[in-house]
C-alpha cells in the first residue's frame, strides 16, 4: 500500500499532473498493489482493491481519466486471486499501452488540421495538444506557438520548455493577454480533463476564456483528448466536479492573513460549452463535439459504473 499511497500523494500534490499522466500512474499503482495481495482470499482481495481504487480516485476530482483508468484496471471476473491479479495486470498493461499509443495517433490525426505557417495558441500543459503541435512541426510545417502562462501553477512554463527543446518558435503571454493576442492566432489547440456527453470541455481554468475570444475572432478551437477522457457518468446527468484548490497557490498566506475581509477562490478548471469547440481529436478520429455520446457508447460503454 505504501507505493500506492506515494503515487496518490504525487497526484494530489501535482508532482504527477495532466489528465493522461495521472490516469497512467494510477493504473500502474493499482496493478502493482494487486501484485502484493497474492496471499489473500478473493473477498479480502476485492475489498483491498476497492479501498485502493478509492484512494486513487479521491486524489483529484475533475479529470475523468482518473476514475476511467482505475475502473478499467480493477474490473475483473475471476474467482481466484491469482487469476484476478493476472486480469488486473493485463488490463493495466493494455490501458497504459493504449494511452501511450493514443498520444501518437492524436498527433498524426490532429496535425492534418494544421497548415503551414499557422500560429497556434495553447493553454496550460497538455501532452495530447503538444503531440499535435510537435507532429505538425516534424512534418515540416513552419508553425509557431503562443503559450499562456496558466496561473496560478504556471504549467505554461512546462509547455514553453518542451516546445523550445523541440525547436518550435514560441511566445509566452500572461493569461489576460489572450483576447488582445487572438488577432495573431490562426488556431487554438488545447487538451481535456473531461468531456461530457453534451460535448462540453472541462479543462484548465481559463480555457473557456480562450474559446470565447476565439469565437469572437472567428478562429477555430481544437481539443486533443483520448477517448478515456470522455465522462460516462455525465450520461446520468452528473456534473463534472470543478476542483477548488488552495488559496496558497494564489497569494502568500501571510499577506492574506492581514486582510480579514478578503477570501480567495482558486478553481482549477472551467467548462467550455460545445458551441465553442470545432473539433475533438481522439485516437480513433476527429469528431465534432456533438459526437461525444457515440464515443462514450462505443469506447467506454454506457453501463460503466465508477463505484
Ligand atoms: O488542464 C490540464 C492540466 O491540469 P493540471 O496541471 O491541473 O493537471 C491539461 O490541459 C489536461 O489535463 C490535459 O492534459 P494531457 O493532454 O497531458 O492529459
Interatomic CA distance for residues 189 and 129, integer angstroms = 6
Grid-cell match 495521472, residue found: 22
Instruction: Find the 44 Cα to ligand 1 centroid distance in Å.
Output: 35
Of 20, 124, 227, 282, the one to substitute when testing ligand 1's pocket (max ligand atoms within 8 A of C-beta) is: 124
Q: Is 237 annotated as a binding residue?
A: no
pLDDT in tens, 112-146: 999 999 999 999 999 999 999 999 999 999 999 99
For strand 220-224 and strand 269-272, is the pairing parallel, antiparallel, or unpaired?
A: unpaired
Grid-cell match 482549477, residue found: 268
The answer to whether 125 and 156 have CB atoms below 8 angstroms apart is: yes
Closest CA to 163 of 186, 138, 145, 140: 145
Interatomic CA distance for residues 132 and 107, integer angstroms = 4
Backbone angles phi, psi at 102, to 5 degrees: -60, -40
Instruction: Find the 260 Cα to ligand 1 centroid distance in Å.
Output: 33
Percent of the chain having pLDDT more than 90?
Answer: 96
Question: Which of 157-166, 212-221, 234-243 shows the lowest per-residue confidence on average (mean pLDDT)?
Answer: 234-243
- Report in angstroms the alpha-carbon separations of 135 from 107, 182, 274: 6, 23, 26
223: which 3 cell numbers?
A: 481539443
User: From the alpha carbon of 17, which atom of ligand 1 is closest?
Assistant: 8
Interatomic CA distance for residues 33 and 52, integer angstroms = 8
**Banded pLDDT at 307 (limits 50, 70, 90):** very low
CATH class for the region spanning 106-300: alpha beta
Q: In what order do the strands lie in the sheet with 187-190?
A: 170-173, 144-148, 119-122, 187-190, 220-224, 279-282, 285-287
Average pLDDT, rounded, for the chain: 96
135: which 3 cell numbers?
A: 507532429
Grid-cell match 480513433, residue found: 284
pLDDT for residue 303 is more than 80 = no
CATH 1.20.120.420 for domain 2-102, yes or no, is: yes
Instruction: Find the 190 Cα to ligand 1 centroid distance in Å.
Output: 9
Q: Is 229 annotated as a binding residue?
A: yes
Percent of the chain having pLDDT more than 70?
Answer: 98
Backbone angles phi, psi at 153, to 5 degrees: -90, -5
- Mean pLDDT in residue range 163-192: 98
137: which 3 cell numbers?
A: 512541426
Grid-cell match 469572437, residue found: 216
- Identify the residues whose C-beta falls under 6 Å from ligand 1: 17-21, 63, 124, 126-129, 155, 191-193, 203-204, 268
Residue 24's pLDDT is: 98
Residue 90's pLDDT is: 98
Q: Is 18 annotated as a binding residue?
A: yes
Contacts of 258 (CB under 8 A, 6+ apart): none
Residue 301's pLDDT is: 80
pLDDT for residue 306 is more than 60 = no
Of 125, 151, 156, the one to substitute when testing ligand 1's pocket (max ligand atoms within 8 A of C-beta) is: 125
**Banded pLDDT at 191 (limits 50, 70, 90):** very high
Tell whether omega for the bond before 41 is within 30 degrees of 0, i.e. cis.
Answer: no
Of 12, 18, 211, 282, the one to substitute when testing ligand 1's pocket (max ligand atoms within 8 A of C-beta) is: 18
Out of 124, 175, 244, 305, the active site residue is: 124
pLDDT for residue 304 is more than 70 = no
pLDDT for residue 302 is more than 90 = no
Alpha-carbon dihedral angle through residues 155, 157, 255, 241, given to the nearest 10 degrees: -10
Q: Is 203 annotated as a binding residue?
A: yes
pLDDT in tens, 45-94: 999 999 999 999 999 999 999 999 999 999 999 999 999 999 999 999 99
Q: Is 19 annotated as a binding residue?
A: yes
104: which 3 cell numbers?
A: 501518437
pLDDT in tens, 251-280: 999 999 999 999 999 999 999 999 999 999
Per-domain boundaries in the chain: 2-102, 106-300
Residue 104's pLDDT is: 98
Residue 189's pLDDT is: 99
State yes or no: is 124 an active-site residue.
yes
Out of 118, 175, 193, 278, the active site residue is: 193
Amino acid at each position: 500500500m505504501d507505493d500506492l499511497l506515494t503515487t496518490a500523494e504525487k497526484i494530489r500534490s501535482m508532482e504527477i499532473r495532466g489528465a493522461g499522466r495521472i490516469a497512467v500512474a494510477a493504473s500502474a499503482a493499482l496493478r502493482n498493489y494487486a501484485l502484493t495481495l497474492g496471499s489473500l482470499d478473493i473477498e479480502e482481495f476485492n475489498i483491498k482493491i476497492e479501498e485502493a481504487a478509492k484512494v486513487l480516485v479521491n486524489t483529484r476530482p475533475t479529470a475523468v481519466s482518473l476514475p476511467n483508468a482505475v475502473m478499467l484496471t480493477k474490473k475483473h471476473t475471476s474467482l481466484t486471486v491469482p487469476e484476478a491479479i493476472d486480469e488486473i495486470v493485463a488490463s493495466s498493461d493494455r490501458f497504459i499501452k493504449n494511452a501511450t499509443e493514443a498520444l501518437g495517433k492524436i498527433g498524426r490525426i490532429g496535425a492534418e488540421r494544421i497548415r503551414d505557417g499557422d500560429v497556434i495558441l495553447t493553454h496550460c500543459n497538455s501532452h495530447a495538444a503538444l503531440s499535435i503541435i510537435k507532429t505538425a512541426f516534424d512534418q515540416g510545417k513552419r508553425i509557431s506557438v503562443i503559450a499562456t502562462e496558466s496561473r496560478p501553477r504556471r504549467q505554461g512554463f512546462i509547455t514553453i520548455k518542451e516546445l523550445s527543446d523541440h525547436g518550435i518558435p514560441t511566445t509566452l503571454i500572461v493569461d489576460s493577454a489572450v483576447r488582445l493576442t487572438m488577432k495573431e492566432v490562426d488556431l487554438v489547440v488545447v487538451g481535456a480533463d473531461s468531456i461530457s456527453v453534451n460535448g462540453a470541455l472541462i479543462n484548465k481554468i481559463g480555457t473557456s476564456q480562450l474559446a470565447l475570444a476565439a469565437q469572437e475572432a472567428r478562429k477555430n478551437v481544437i481539443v486533443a483528448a483520448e477517448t478515456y477522457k470522455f465522462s460516462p457518468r455525465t450520461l446520468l446527468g452528473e456534473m463534472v466536479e470543478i476542483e477548488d484548490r488552495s488559496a496558497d497557490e494564489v497569494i502568500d498566506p501571510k499577506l492574506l492573513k492581514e486582510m480579514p475581509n478578503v477570501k480567495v477562490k482558486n478553481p482549477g478548471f472551467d467548462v467550455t460549452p460545445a458551441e465553442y469547440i470545432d473539433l475533438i481529436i481522439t485516437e480513433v478520429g476527429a469528431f465534432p463535439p456533438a459526437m461525444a455520446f457515440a464515443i462514450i457508447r462505443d469506447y467506454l460503454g454506457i453501463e460503466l459504473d465508477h463505484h
